A and B are shown apart, each in its own frame.
Chain A
Amino acid sequence: MKGKGTSDTVSVVDGDGNQCCWWWWLVHKGTTTTFLIVGLFALLVRAAVSLHPYSGFANPPKFGDYEAQRHWMEITINLPIQEWYRNSTSNDLSYWGLDYPPLTAYQSFIHGLFLRFVHPESVSLFTSRGHESYLGKLLMRWTVLSSDLLILFPAVLYFVIVRYGQPSRSRKSDIGWHIAMLLLNPCLILIDHGHFQYNCISLGFTIGAVAGVLSGKDLVACVLYCLALNHKQMSAYFAPAFFSHLLGKCLRRKHPLLEVSKLGFYVLGTFAAVWWPYLYSKDSILEVLSRLAPFERGIFEDYVANFWCASSIIFKWKRLFRSESLRILSLTATVITCLPSMIQQIKSPSNRGFLYGLLNCSFAFYLFSFQVHEKSILLPLLPASLLAMEEPFIFKWFMQFAMLSMFPLICRDGLVVPYFALLALFILIFDAPGQQRVKEGNYLYNYLGATTVRLVLFCYFILHIVYLTMNPPEKYPFLFEAIIMNVCFSQFVLVTLGCNIKQWVLNKPTKLEVDKKFI
């Protein structure tokens, strides 16, 4: 899976010894120790980022995501389970009503218990609204840290063990590098530990599911993916990829129908288990479901680097169409953009193709679906980071623009300092010395050309500085946001086009065999 021919390997021998010298202190004890070291470092980074302010810090009356999560803890530990999603005198849904699937609610419940045990005022019903205190912040931050540690970290370890089954095959320091890339994803750290969310849980489950698929344990993958889906409905971005890959695999087996129904049974079983408290009546299911689908909101919020927002400079979508027709329009566009990679996976499912499929499908959703947040860029970023070894240039390029696309949000949250520190840290570790990886020899890089890459990067930094230091003209108060979003959108389109083509190029039988041998 090196993307490197045999002739290349010979010339790298000298460098190999050199590389061992560079990273010998880190990797010589084996994957687990390497993981432990990188993991501790990643935890340290997370703990340090969590010192910074969170979204909506000291900003009444609605505050931000931090208050939403805290409020959910307050609701879940004080009200009976049936009332969590129901509007009532004690549960005002217009004030940060629970709008994530039940697993998030259970997670809030568990964290709420912890908060109540240590600091009861921070989660008492009604009186704790807008609660902000030193201890409260600390405890909330620790709940994210622990979720990360309990779900994302083991999932990454599982993925790495599956992906690099025999460490002798690939160089140890590469594994260390990939672990670092997965654990030190600056966007994820900023959103979870700075802005305040629990993406690590659903993304962790997704990584676990991907590892399950890669290791051939499709049933485990199904359960884990359903858990991800039940933690954040946004995980549905990956659904077409999982669906098409698993379907394609089943179709190749002896009894396709039996295999499919087995998977279906596991999916239904997991869903039933998670939704159990709400299965007593149809109304209660619909009640929860209606909370999960944010159709009453617009096609996009704020500024997000997707098709609808980027093109709204020319077409005022919100004015031209009614909400219902926009819904259908966006659904059609999403399905059409998903289709190529789905068909490829149904036709010839492969592990590597599956990873590309994940990237392409989630990108299709990010670019074209209804009601996309700037934070949703985390979802396409995940498969990109899983592919970091195969597509280092695309991964780095994508990460940089994903960061930029969140920059206005980060500025609002007062997280500019950790933003730049994490970006620098990412680039430093990406380009860590002693690496022999050929990073620039990439089709996207070749397509853009070295000069363009430099020029774009130059604009990239200028944009940051301009956004930070200059005031937009009064006539266009969101001029800079619009420029940033269009720049990011153009790069995202390039990335996803490149990856779609790459996925289809994979579709040669010889490639598939190579693939199977390596994974």
Chain B
Amino acid sequence: MGKQKLSSKGVQNSGCTKATLWWFYLVAACIKVLLFPSYRSTDFEVHRNWLAVTHSLPLSQWYFDETSPWTLDYPPFFAHFEHFLSMFAHLIDPKIVHLQEGLNYSANTVVYFQRGTVILSDLCLLYGVYRLTRNLDSRKQKLIWLSAIWSPMLFIVDHVHFQYNGFLIGILLISLSYLEEGRDLLGGFFFAVLLCLKHLFAVAAPVYFVYLLRHYCRGGIGRGFTRLLIMGGMVAAVFAAAFGPFFHLGQIQQVIRRLFPFGRGLCHAYWAPNFWVFYIMSDKGLAFILRRLGFNVQTPTATFTAGLVGDSSPFSVLPQVTPLVTFMMVLLALSPCLLKAWKDPKPQMISRWVAYAYACGFLFGWHVHEKASLHFVIPLAIVAVQTLEDAKHYFLLSIVSCYSLFPLLFEAQEYPIKVLLLLLHSILMWSGFSAQFPDGAETARAPTGHHTEKKVDQRKSNGGFVIGWIERMYLIGLVIVEIWGQFLHPLLLGDKLAFAPLMLISIYCALGIMYSWIWQLTFIVTSP
């Protein structure tokens, strides 16, 4: 359906729209405030330390300080962001920003302050969502807000586990909204800023590059070249503002070393549900079968998570995976999308392409965190209301990826919270999508709006929001996996095979994410 153009009523409603958007944000903020005393990961101390580093030390020391093991490993703009926050932190409690005394500081002041900054920085997400949805009709808007602003994944990762993903994804959404409006220069600018905040977002850079090259720099060689120069100059300026000072100080190598720690392994401590899970599992399976058949298979000494220790491979049968291989695979997976973007750079498709790029990065990337699934789930929430197929896909994807975050909150105290968040999200999505895409019987009862006729046609051809039996079986399986991991496994096997439940979650969610990736790929390839 694409975007509905602003109707006259929409203009009148815009004040009302903003009020509703604020309402969604504030309700979420209340819950986030209630979550203040919940479990927080070491990321909390990481960010506190960065506050201290940026506040107590001059710029030239930021990337050298090693007082705490949690050294600064985000790009300079994020360090500046922390520096900005640290000014307020200093006013509230000077101990927060003290380099030595502040280590592992856990008084209420620091908890409330840092958690508060995450809630406030979510305003960025709010603005991004607002920009992307302001021209949609009001029902779609609400559905998007439900899934993006009340995203259970953001609650789990940002407000319990502790990170600033809402802020960063907000900037991504702002960038996407400018691209959708055709204001490519600003879109490129915000993406460049995003890269200088967190370099992991660079996975989508090829998509951006191809899209901007073909969409912004079109219209003859001369005009294209000028525009390329403008865009290139702008991006270069952003990067210069970020990295220039360090370049000037001659520390650029140190900064790069911090940003790209290649000492880490293929997988994170908890395996993110991606392609490599299958690779590792088939390696184990093959080794087991070969051993049974009488072959002498060596048990590897290295582990997947610890990184490349010398030349020893963590795999017993399958070939070693290097960062370069993963890089090539990501590019290969991206190529159909890049081809599409090259052929026909349509602004309506950019959100999908970028989401797809992050999905590729998640599936095939090196040392992927399970949290990275946020990077494509939130942008996909924006397009989820466009067609019935999108809604079905997003419904499954958001549940699976949220479930894959469950191991992040491993303490019993947060168990009801994460389960309730996921349940609430699923039932809200189900109720919302069924309202948006009612089946034939319900169409008659749907309220009359200005787009009704169009919708009715579409609905008749598609049927209602019904989840297919494969998807339904898969979701039931998810419940079984959870019950097994939480209750049956400890009851039946005790402490034996303690890693098995986590592995099961990884493999099971990887199936769902693979499905989502294939679905996205098909959608992109087959889209006209």
> If the complex has contacts A21-B449, A41-B424, are A51 and B34 also in contact, measured as CB distance less than 8 A?
yes
- The reply on B112 being an interface residue by CB < 8 A is yes
Q: Are A421 and B30 in contact (CB under 8 A)?
A: yes
Binds A, one of B19-27, B265-273, B278-286, B490-498: B19-27
Q: Are B30 and A44 in contact (CB under 8 A)?
A: no
How far does the alpha carbon of A418 sit from the alpha carbon of B33 in the complex, in Å?
Answer: 7
- The reply on B250 being an interface residue by CB < 8 A is no
Q: Are B139 and A51 in contact (CB under 8 A)?
A: no
Q: Are A138 and B413 in contact (CB under 8 A)?
A: yes
Q: Are B34 and A25 in contact (CB under 8 A)?
A: no
Partner of B420, one of A44, A51, A421, A424: A44
Q: Are A43 and B420 in contact (CB under 8 A)?
A: yes
Q: B residues within 8 A CB of A458?
A: none
How far does the alpha carbon of A28 sit from the alpha carbon of B36 in the complex, in Å?
Answer: 34
In the complex, the 3 A-B pairs of residues with the closest C-beta atoms, listed nearest first: A48-B34, A25-B432, A425-B30
Q: Nearest residue in A to B433 (C-beta to C-beta)?
A: A25
Q: Are A25 and B146 in contact (CB under 8 A)?
A: yes
Q: Are A29 and B424 in contact (CB under 8 A)?
A: no
Partner of B139, one of A21, A29, A425, A433: A21
- The reply on B488 being an interface residue by CB < 8 A is no
Name A261-318 residues within 8 Å CB distance of B: none
Name A1-45 residues within 8 Å CB distance of B: 17, 20-22, 24-26, 28-29, 33, 36-37, 40-41, 43-45
Q: Are B34 and A428 in contact (CB under 8 A)?
A: no
- The reply on B483 being an interface residue by CB < 8 A is no
Q: Are A22 and B431 in contact (CB under 8 A)?
A: no
Partner of B448, one of A17, A25, A52: A17
Q: A residues within 8 A CB of B470?
A: none
Q: Are A40 and B423 in contact (CB under 8 A)?
A: yes
Partner of B142, one of A25, A33, A44: A25
- The reply on A429 being an interface residue by CB < 8 A is yes
Q: Are B435 and A28 in contact (CB under 8 A)?
A: yes
Contact with B along A365-398 (1 / 0, CB 8 A): 0000000000000000000000000000000000
- The reply on B68 being an interface residue by CB < 8 A is no
- Not counting A24-B447, A25-B142, A48-B35, a sample of 14 additional A-B residue pairs whose C-beta atoms are within 8 angstroms of each other reads A22-B138, A26-B428, A29-B434, A40-B420, A41-B424, A44-B31, A49-B34, A51-B38, A51-B417, A138-B412, A417-B33, A417-B34, A428-B30, A434-B20
Q: A residues within 8 A CB of B23?
A: 428, 432-433
How far does the alpha carbon of A40 sit from the alpha carbon of B422 in the complex, in Å?
Answer: 10
How far does the alpha carbon of A47 sit from the alpha carbon of B38 in the complex, in Å?
Answer: 11
Q: B residues within 8 A CB of A179?
A: none
> If the complex has contacts A33-B431, A434-B20, are A51 and B26 also in contact, measured as CB distance less than 8 A?
no
Chain A's nearest CB lies how many Å from the CB of B420?
4
Q: A residues within 8 A CB of B416?
A: 43, 47, 142, 145
Contact with B along A131-146 (1 / 0, CB 8 A): 0001100100010010
How far does the alpha carbon of A162 sit from the alpha carbon of B143 in the complex, in Å?
Answer: 31
> If the complex has contacts A40-B424, A47-B417, are A418 and B34 also in contact, measured as CB distance less than 8 A?
yes
- The reply on B120 being an interface residue by CB < 8 A is no
> If the complex has contacts A24-B435, A422-B30, A433-B19, are A51 and B424 also in contact, measured as CB distance less than 8 A?
no
Q: B residues within 8 A CB of A417?
A: 33-34, 36, 112
Most chain A CB neighbours (cut-off 10 Å) among B31, B34, B423: B34
Q: B residues within 8 A CB of A49?
A: 34
How far does the alpha carbon of A33 sit from the alpha carbon of B438 in the complex, in Å?
Answer: 15
Partner of B431, one of A26, A138, A420: A26
Task: Identify 13 residue pairs between A and B in the complex whose beta-carbon atoms are under 8 Å apart, listed by A's number.
Answer: A25-B428, A28-B431, A29-B431, A33-B431, A37-B431, A48-B35, A49-B34, A52-B34, A417-B33, A425-B27, A432-B23, A433-B23, A434-B20
How far does the alpha carbon of A21 sit from the alpha carbon of B136 in the complex, in Å?
Answer: 13
> If the complex has contacts A24-B139, A417-B36, are A135 and B412 also in contact, measured as CB distance less than 8 A?
yes
Q: Nearest residue in A to B426 (C-beta to C-beta)?
A: A40
Q: Nearest residue in B to A414 (C-beta to C-beta)?
A: B108
Q: Are A51 and B431 in contact (CB under 8 A)?
A: no
Q: Are A424 and B19 in contact (CB under 8 A)?
A: no
Chain A's nearest CB lies how many Å from the CB of B14?
13
- The tally of residues in B whose CB lies under 8 Å from a CB in A reads 40
- The reply on B427 being an interface residue by CB < 8 A is yes
Q: A residues within 8 A CB of B35?
A: 48, 51
- The reply on B103 being an interface residue by CB < 8 A is no
Most chain B CB neighbours (cut-off 10 Å) among A47, A134, A424: A47
Q: Nearest residue in B to A16 (C-beta to C-beta)?
A: B447
Q: Are A37 and B37 in contact (CB under 8 A)?
A: no
How far does the alpha carbon of A26 sit from the alpha carbon of B434 in the complex, in Å?
Answer: 10
Chain B's nearest CB lies how many Å from the CB of A191?
15
How far does the alpha carbon of A324 sit from the alpha carbon of B438 in the complex, in Å?
Answer: 68
Chain B's nearest CB lies how many Å from the CB of A291?
34
Q: Nearest residue in A to B411 (C-beta to C-beta)?
A: A134
Partner of B427, one of A36, A421, A425, A432: A36
Interface size class of A (residues with CB under 8 A): 35 or more
Tell me whether chain B's interface is mostly helix, strand or loop, or mixed.
helix
> If the complex has contacts A33-B427, A51-B35, are A21 and B420 also in contact, measured as CB distance less than 8 A?
no
Q: A residues within 8 A CB of B16?
A: 433
How far does the alpha carbon of A421 sit from the alpha carbon of B438 in the complex, in Å?
Answer: 36
Contact with A along B137-153 (1 / 0, CB 8 A): 01100110010000000
Chain B's nearest CB lies how many Å from the CB of A145?
7
> If the complex has contacts A45-B34, A47-B417, A48-B35, are A40 and B431 also in contact, measured as CB distance less than 8 A?
no
Chain B's nearest CB lies how many Å from the CB of A115?
14
How far does the alpha carbon of A260 sit from the alpha carbon of B26 in the complex, in Å?
Answer: 51
Q: Are B428 and A37 in contact (CB under 8 A)?
A: yes
How far does the alpha carbon of A47 sit from the alpha carbon of B420 in the complex, in Å?
Answer: 9
Q: A residues within 8 A CB of B31?
A: 44-45, 48, 421, 425
Name B435-488 residues within 8 Å CB distance of A: 435-436, 438, 442, 447-449
Q: A residues within 8 A CB of B448?
A: 17
- The reply on B349 being an interface residue by CB < 8 A is no
- The reply on B421 being an interface residue by CB < 8 A is yes
Contact with B along A426-465 (1 / 0, CB 8 A): 0011001110000000000000000000000000000000
How far does the alpha carbon of A52 sit from the alpha carbon of B30 in the complex, in Å?
Answer: 14
Contact with A along B384-427 (1 / 0, CB 8 A): 00000000000000000000000000001100110011011001
Chain A's nearest CB lies how many Å from the CB of B139?
6
How far does the alpha carbon of A424 sit from the alpha carbon of B119 in the complex, in Å?
Answer: 15
Q: B residues within 8 A CB of A432?
A: 23
Name B116-164 residues within 8 Å CB distance of A: 138-139, 142-143, 146
> If the complex has contacts A25-B139, A29-B434, are A48 and B417 also in contact, measured as CB distance less than 8 A?
yes
Q: B residues within 8 A CB of A48?
A: 31, 34-35, 38, 417
Chain B's nearest CB lies how many Å from the CB of A176?
11
Partner of B30, one of A20, A135, A138, A424: A424
Q: Are A28 and B434 in contact (CB under 8 A)?
A: yes
Q: A residues within 8 A CB of B431?
A: 25-26, 28-29, 33, 37
Q: A residues within 8 A CB of B417?
A: 44, 47-48, 51
How far does the alpha carbon of A17 sit from the alpha carbon of B412 in the complex, in Å?
Answer: 44
How far does the alpha carbon of A232 sit from the alpha carbon of B424 in the complex, in Å?
Answer: 33
Chain A's nearest CB lies how many Å from the CB of B18?
10
Q: Are A51 and B413 in contact (CB under 8 A)?
A: yes
Q: B residues within 8 A CB of A41?
A: 424
Q: A residues within 8 A CB of B139?
A: 21, 24-25
How far does the alpha carbon of A36 sit from the alpha carbon of B420 in the complex, in Å?
Answer: 12
Q: B residues within 8 A CB of A422?
A: 30, 34
Q: A residues within 8 A CB of B423?
A: 40
How far does the alpha carbon of A22 sit from the alpha carbon of B432 in the complex, in Å?
Answer: 11
How far does the alpha carbon of A26 sit from the alpha carbon of B27 in the complex, in Å?
Answer: 15
How far does the alpha carbon of A422 sit from the alpha carbon of B412 in the complex, in Å?
Answer: 24
> If the complex has contacts A24-B447, A25-B435, A37-B428, are A51 and B37 also in contact, measured as CB distance less than 8 A?
yes
Contact with B along A111-139 (1 / 0, CB 8 A): 00000000000000000000000110010
Chain A's nearest CB lies how many Å from the CB of B418?
10
Contact with B along A320-361 (1 / 0, CB 8 A): 000000000000000000000000000000000000000000
